Chain A
Amino acid sequence: MSKKKSMSRRSFIGKSAAGLSSVAFSSALMEMLLSSTGCKSGPGGASGVSDLILPEDVLAKAVSHLMAKGADFGDVYVERAAMDSVMSDDRKINTTTTIAKGVGLRAVKGGRTFYAYTGSFEPERVYETARYVADAAAAPASASAPSVITLSPLASGLSFPIKPMPSDLAVDQKIALFKTLSDRAWSADPRIVQAIQLLREIIRQVNIATSSGKIVKQTLGLTEFMAQTYVKGADGQLQAAMDQRGAYAGRDFFTGENAFEKVVDAAAAKAVKLLEAVDSPRGVFPVVLGPGMNGVLFHESCGHGMEGDLVFKGSNYKDQIGKQTAAKGVTLIDDGTIESYPGSYAFDDEATPSERTVLIEDGIQRNYLCDIIYGEKLKMKSTGNGRRQSFRYPPIPRMRNTFIEKGPIPAADIIAGTKRGIYVADVSGGGQVDVITGNFMMGVGEGYLIEKGKITKPIKGATISGMGIEAMKSIDLVGDDLKMFPSAGRCGKMQTAPVGFGMPTIRVRNILVGGKGEAWTDIEGGK
């Protein structure tokens, strides 16, 4: 499941550093982790554990060591994380547990980043690692006097309570919950041959101290749920579908249409539908994208190209500020402040407050997504997009919750106004982008033919691909039904990051659709 979601050609040597590839913890361990330094998971959720992991003087001294050889900027990132997963696979329910802790140390000199981490919280080990990084960053024969760093805590109005704390529910109760979900999945249809459900609960307690004197303390509680169902038709044909949700919140977030039961039902319903599906037509023709999670298409097709590091190196969005990069009427936003959404946080991983960033306004490029380093290189400000997977990685510019703002047209009119094309309900097939050319691709999970203004047969095996800016300029109708989607699908760009998406119903007038079905050469699909 995860492989399909986040295969990235940018991670190419699998066997080097140990990764946090699989996850989890037990509630007893969680308690142990939090209580080991006097932190208690109080009933208020996040607030109860937002304390310093290492004493302030240790943090300050570590930053001083980092800066002692003339670095321009430095920060210390202290993290401890407890991860618990419950999985039902083949009706077998098991849990796994992971505890990880470490301190990441970064020094920046002349726009270059030097990074190392230690798994130890021993002050001497932290200082030693800081000195190693400072030495690596030192320009030949340059040494300035070590400065005394004074740290002052930052406060934010944003907080995402974790209710309940994962540790408040015992293992046997979690397994009982999964028994119910697993039975529900298996009984949804007689053609079901396999079903998987996975719940991941991750608590990360983070302290950041920077050479500009900031200290940030935050506790992030990420909950992710995924369901995948396989069905077999009478003709032996096998089909699979999945659905998922994720949020910086406890399990209480997952109610209504985000309920685990709804996710399980949706995975089964989509898979069953695929048994009746026809092969997708191929060629260039109109595609109507349904609201919500399809926003991932714009995350891939243009969001990546607007990330500061890639802009700096020459993505297809370089030098586009003030220029038209999408059709008039299209507004694209990256928002890190939506409560509990997977791309939301009070501060990013280099202590910059999060914000709502307008990237494209009515078709015109207004901004890029920057961290401190690329903000400086591009002579722009950090937009609070400096994120890291864990203490093992230095921060890089990443998206948060990326969505297209709603437009004026009733969604039903968009479908009714399309003579021939496809309707994509869910592009859950995963995707990839080449940011130099802007070429992107997305697999379609749930799609239908549009014939004479009506949604008709389900299709299978469709992919959508094209050039980001061309596709954005080809949007001719934007619906009024904006829907946000709290996704559990993580974005992979050397490191993984939880991200959210959203969009209203929109139509792309012309885009390349791949499929096994007939070649459509008639591109007169519109009104």
Chain B
Amino acid sequence: MNFKKEYLDIARFAVERAKKAGAGGAAVSAEAYVNDTESIQVTVNARAVEQMSAVKEAGIGVRVLRDGKMAFGSTNDLSRDAVGGMVDGLVKKVVFHTADEFNIIPSKDDGALAADRLGYEDLGSYDPRVAEVPVQEKTQTALRMEAAGLGFSPKIAGSMMAVYQDGTSYVYLANSSGISGWFRQSGCGGGVEFTAAEGESRESGSFTKGVVKWADFDAEEVGRKAAENAVSMLGAKPIASAEMPMVVSPEIGTQIFSFIADMLSADSVQKGRSLFAEKVGTEVASKGFTLIDDGRLKGGMSTAPVDGEGVATQTTPLIVDGVLKTYLYDCYTARKGKAKSTGNHTRSGYGSAGGIGTTNLYLKPGDAAPEAIFAGIDRGFYLTVVLGLFAAIDAASGDFSIPSAGFMIEKGKKTNPVRGVTIGGNIFELLKAVDKVGNDLTWFQSLGSPTFSVSSVKIGGSGK
């Protein structure tokens, strides 16, 4: 994939067209976001290709602002006729929208960056190899990934899903404040789910991993870890309801933080949807808990020079030593909350007007080796699998009861696998109950967490 000047031109054309369409009435500001993507997905099953899908698509999303009213539209027809027609339509209908004094198309004063001719700064978030490697090699990679798991143990009965996927994306931005530029990102990775069987016991185990650079993707590791996860759960049984300490694996940690991040969005807070409202400067987690969103992390999966509305990205400590420092802002919420954008306007493609989202989000690692965390627990639960986490936590109250699986911890050691239990509690109480944070920061795509422990959770189970 390459830089295509015509896409920067069509973005600028859309902005100019909006200004022109509004001529004679109140001034129109506008922003255009063109996204050009390429992606390969290969699914394998039983050591053969099941499905190969190749995708190339480009489209444009346009925001127009007039009299404090904002409208958004998108299309994957990049002809001037189609884009011009869409923009004219947006300018016409925006008058019916609700005026909101905080609506904004960002300028330099709002933190927006204009790029030079070579585009925005390169932060190592792009590898040309991802698009260049021939599909045959990607197919072989998917097959090796599955084979590594199938060969891991005779107890592996088969794979349910083995997918290799990659994507390369070029973003072109232009707005009526004179901002324009482009940047690129890439990513590749895989996910596998295996079935393990022994006697009457059937268990599943999965693992996924995404990286920026082709050379960094270790397909065999993904296959082996998924298989190991499946085999280690064989013979899992429920335990009886009880309260006990819990150790959380990095993978589950990242899922929990992803949920918390939604509540740390300034939009949720300003609209009264978050229990973190009015908590800045107060203790919301235990002392050792530091949560950081870093849009400039070198080589991070979500690293970019600017966010979805052209504002420079930054490193944002959200919770430091248990104290809430800030929320995540885009330009709209920053204006409303008299704050500065943290560069967290996120778009999931040209078809999305965007909203607040995390970049690379992680829990800062502590000093404890994971073994030392286990060693301090006489009887506890090691959480490694959750089902339907987003459905199981009530975002409004923070209450959760999450169907889970994992292992018993007995006398400082991980022992028998456990399935068919729920862990219950409240997410805010859980954050305050974090007592040890490991030194093993592990990344899952753009979310990172070390192993950590919680002093006590309620476990609901049917076992004896």
Contact = CB atoms under 8 A, between A and B. Distances in A.
Interface of A: 3-4, 7, 9-10, 12-26, 28-29, 32, 89-102, 111-119, 132-133, 136, 171-172, 175, 193-194, 230, 232, 237-240, 279-280, 282-284, 310, 313-316, 392-394, 429-437, 439-443, 460-463, 465-466, 512-516, 519, 521
Contacts of B92: 26, 28
12 contacts: A18-B349, A20-B349, A22-B352, A101-B76, A175-B98, A230-B272, A313-B160, A430-B390, A430-B391, A439-B405, A461-B394, A516-B401
B80 interface: no
A4 B353 contact: no
Contact of A515 (B166, B189, B460): B460
Interface string B28-44: 00000001010101000
Interface in B111-155: 135
A182 B392 CA distance: 28
Given A512-B420, A514-B402, A18 B272 contact: no
Contact of B387 (A22, A98, A116, A439): A439
B378 interface: no
Nearest to B99: A92
Given A114-B52, A193-B272, A514-B460, A443 B241 contact: no
Interface residues of B, number: 105
Interface stretch (B8-16, B53-61, B173-181, B291-299): B53-61
A26 B399 CA distance: 40
B401 A314 contact: no
A314 B161 CA distance: 11
A17 B89 contact: no
A429 B167 contact: no
Contacts of B314: none
A22 B351 contact: yes
A101 B82 CA distance: 12
A265 B372 CA distance: 53
Nearest to A176: B96
A282 B352 contact: no
B326 to A, nearest CB: 21
A18 B51 contact: no
A15 B59 CA distance: 15
Interface string B66-88: 00001111111100001001100
Nearest to B167: A16
Looking at A20, A32, A118, A315, the one whose CB has the most chain B CB atoms below 10 A away is A20
A384 B26 CA distance: 53
Given A20-B351, A461-B401, A94 B445 contact: no
B394 A460 contact: yes
B391 A316 contact: no
B31 to A, nearest CB: 14
A310 B161 CA distance: 9
B342 interface: no
Nearest to B37: A18
7 interchain residue pairs of minimum CB distance: A16-B167, A514-B422, A430-B391, A514-B401, A282-B460, A18-B349, A97-B73
B195 interface: yes
B243 to A, nearest CB: 10
Contact of A238 (B48, B55, B397): B397
Contacts of A18: 35, 37, 57-59, 169, 349-351
A436 B204 contact: yes
A14 B166 CA distance: 10
A394 B41 CA distance: 11
A115 B85 contact: no
Given A443-B388, A462-B401, A238 B275 contact: yes
Contacts of A24: 72-73
Contacts of B395: 4, 240
B388 A441 contact: yes
Contacts of B422: 282, 463, 465, 512, 514-515
B462 A283 contact: yes
B45 to A, nearest CB: 6
Given A193-B272, A442-B391, A443-B391, A94 B241 contact: no
Given A22-B352, A461-B401, A282 B37 contact: no
A238 B59 CA distance: 39
B445 A21 contact: no
A460 B396 CA distance: 12
A172 B403 contact: no
Contacts of A14: 348, 445-446
B98 A461 contact: no
